[in-house]
Amino acid sequence: MKTATMLILGIFTGLMLAGCGKSNTETVAVNGASKTTLLNPLTLQQFATPLPIIPVAAPDTTTVPGSEYYSVVVEQTSGYDFGLRKSDGSDFLTPISGAPIRTTVWGYTTNGIKAGYLGATIVARSTLAGESGKPVVVKYTNNLKNADGSLLTKHLLTVDPTVVGAMGGAMGNDPEIRIVTHLHGGHVATESDGHPNAWITNDPTAMTGLPADPISGRPARPNGNSVTYTYDNSQIANHLWYHDHAMGITRLNVYAGLAGNYFTRDSVEDALNLPSGAYEIPLVIQDKSFNEDGSLHYDSNALLNPDGTQQMVDGKPVFTSNPEFFGNVITVNGKAWPKLDVEPRKYRFRLLNGSDSRFYNIWLERSDGLPVPAGAITMIGNDGGLLPSAVSIGHAPGSALLLALAERADVIIDFSQLPAGVSLTMRNDAHTPYPNGDDVNPSTTGRIMQFKITKALVGTDTSVVPATPRALTPYAAPDNTRYVDLQETEENTAFVFDLYSGAIAKRLMILLNGLPFDAPITENILLNDVEDWVIINNTVDAHPMHLHLVHFEVVEKGTVAPGAYTPADGLGGMPTVAAGGLRPDTNPDGTPATGTSPYTVQPPEQGHKDTVRVPPADEFIGSQGYVRIRARFDRIGTYMWHCHILAHEDHEMMRPFRVQ
């Protein structure tokens, strides 16, 4: 395997240079044997750039009578400023032009508000009985163009055409510039859910449409570059978010900037007298890496044939992504390590983990070294809305707030309990991958942002921290219990250089029930049935599993006794567990799961959720982690369930389910 050996030597040389590059950069391997120079995060300033306050888009109430209408246009922006400055505050300069480094990104322009990166917040009201809300109608338009106005044909990042749905995959020669938007957490009709293969291109004259497919459940795909969805808002107050969901390139489209907040309100939330207006602030947390010219960097490596030669598609070499992506710079609302000057009063922060693969274990650290007072940080809601009981979040790692991919946290911080002039640094110590991977760098990815109590109190703070934010009625006993599993295997015909082991390894296959995305649907559910799903994790990492359409209860977590589990066979046969094999609240070694163990339901997981952390297997003991969730499936149609580690989702850790 001479070719492969030469490739390894080229990449390994790049890796060795990583520790001895220029003071503001580090050199890493990317795109096989070629190298790129990254900005060194240790040389970037922190807590100097003001946190951007994401604007709220005003609804159009006349275009669609009886509804609130939004035009959401996907556009490219050149010269976006992530706040990448040297530690002394001066600009990094591009090597060629000498101009300050800036970044080309994608974002949503929502009813005329162009954020450049990400998108403006949409706020709607519930339409449930007794509420005053209206449906929201959104026209999504793909307007991705170059600066000269010509249609983009190449993605900002490297597209792997061997991934299903990405050009050379199951859907054929699809264009690189494709989008489809999913309202994450939305209780919506299947036609408006953002099916990953119901994408639109950026060409208004494109004839890429397809009729609905009753076999796969894909709704009709329109011609042209726009599609209109209706969100009826038939759900309680909640923090939803809209993001791209295109098959095979979701990780790239979201990383480029396609995400935005969507809040629903209702009378229960109104009555709580929570911090509001300027004191309710969304925080979209993401990790990034940047090349020395300021452009976005997303890892990719040469994909090899079994004989060591590089795989080719249409005469071009193929580069593939790693099983996970972890950036070395933390951004919040599109700025690197920002700061927020606050008054000594209560603030409501709506946190969203919008990263690709990184979990965050969040706690606050005082600049004076003293502990944060008990009760100063309170979680009142999660990704299912307000909690039945508020949860006090501690200041130390042992009592921190764990936030997996796509999870949200509704948190109130009472800055009046701290002296003026004190700064609070939001810290992170979640391993990568979670929970058994590498430590974070405490000087970079171990930091998120900083709050500085520097502003005078305006008026009187009358807002409150509710002890019992919302009463929720539990679901009825299940009509059916189904077992599903998460499996990790390898491809026999695709090899990639493994940056971690320094060797060539088979590309991982991370599948649900051992099945590819387009295999016949195995989760067929009767309308209005309540189902328990026992999700068994046979991999060594935790996976944040998301179900479209429903909000579910996290009933229990635990482990499967060694030898009690038979995995799905990859042919449509489901996994089985021997009688008594499920061990709730039990660690793999058989000891009780207490405290912050991932094998027991945590207080922030009470109430309803749409994304759940499935605890990992222990390959040495031979015990799998599992979670039992319960939901009522109340709309007919085909929806997705998938891991929300976006690199996993794009590598087919996603399957449809059908309600009929």
Quick check: 241 and 354 in contact, CB under 8 A? yes
Say what the pLDDT of residue 505 is. Answer: 87
Q: Bridge-partner residues for 383, per DSSP?
A: none
Quick check: 69 and 137 in contact, CB under 8 A? yes
3-state secondary structure 352-421: EECCCCCCEEEEEEECCCCCCCCCCEEEEEECCEEEEEEEECCCCHHHCEEECCCCEEEEEEEHHHCCCC
Q: How far apart are CA 224 and CA 599, in angstroms?
A: 48
Q: How far apart are CA 162 and CA 651, in angstroms?
A: 10
- How would you classify the pairing of strands 68-80 and 136-142? parallel
**Top CATH class, 68-273:** mainly beta
Say what the pLDDT of residue 2 is. Answer: 30
3-state secondary structure of 596: coil
H helices present in 473-536, as ranges:
none
Q: What is the four-CA torsion angle of 7, 8, 9, 13, rounded to 10 degrees?
A: 110
3-state secondary structure 546-589: EECCCCEEEEEEEEECCCCEECCCCCCCCCEECCCCEEECECCC
Side chain identity at 424, as an amino acid letter?
A: L
Both tokens assigned to 486: 């998460």
Q: Would the pTM count as exceeding 0.85?
A: yes
Quick check: 132 and 125 in contact, CB under 8 A? yes
Quick one: which of 149, 134, 496 has its CA closest to 303?
Answer: 496
Burial of 66 (0-12, 13-18, 19+ CB in 10 A): exposed
Quick check: 286 and 355 in contact, CB under 8 A? yes
Q: How far is CA 382 from the centre of its chain?
A: 15
Task: Write the CB contacts of 495 (distance below 8 Å, at least 6 apart in sequence).
Answer: 4, 303, 304, 305, 306, 308, 504, 505, 506, 507
Quick check: 320 and 160 in contact, CB under 8 A? yes
Hunting for tokens 């189904």 — which residue is that?
Answer: 482
Contacts of 15-21 with C-beta under 8 Å, sequence gap 24+, read: 15/499, 15/502
Phi-psi region of 352 (alpha: psi -120 to 50; beta: other; left: phi over 0): beta
Q: How far apart are CA 549 and CA 188, in angstroms?
A: 6
Architecture of domain 480-659 in CATH? Sandwich (2.60)
Q: How far apart are CA 510 and CA 542, in angstroms?
A: 13
Provide the sign of the torsion angle of the four alpha carbons 268, 274, 280, 285, taken in this order. negative
Please give the backbone phi and psi of residue 20, each rounded to the nearest 5 degrees, phi first.
-135, 30
Please give the backbone phi and psi of residue 174, each rounded to the nearest 5 degrees, phi first.
-80, 150
3-state secondary structure of 282: strand
Say what the pLDDT of residue 429 is. Answer: 95
H helices present in 31-98, as ranges:
none
Side chain identity at 449, as an amino acid letter?
A: M
Q: What is the DSSP letter of 267?
A: H
Both tokens assigned to 510: 């991370």
Task: Write the CB contacts of 9 (distance below 8 Å, at least 6 apart in sequence).
Answer: none
Radius of gyration of the chain measured on its C-alpha atoms: 24
Task: Kindly report, as residue ranges, where domains of CATH 2.60.40.420 are found in the chain.
Answer: 68-273, 480-659
Quick check: 586 and 559 in contact, CB under 8 A? yes
Phi-psi region of 172 (alpha: psi -120 to 50; beta: other; left: phi over 0): left
Q: How far apart are CA 73 and CA 114, in angstroms?
A: 9
The stretches in the chain having pLDDT less than 70 are: 1-36, 165-172, 395-398, 498-502
Say what the pLDDT of residue 36 is. Answer: 62
Cα→Cα distances 443→41, 44, 188, 339, Å: 9, 11, 42, 16
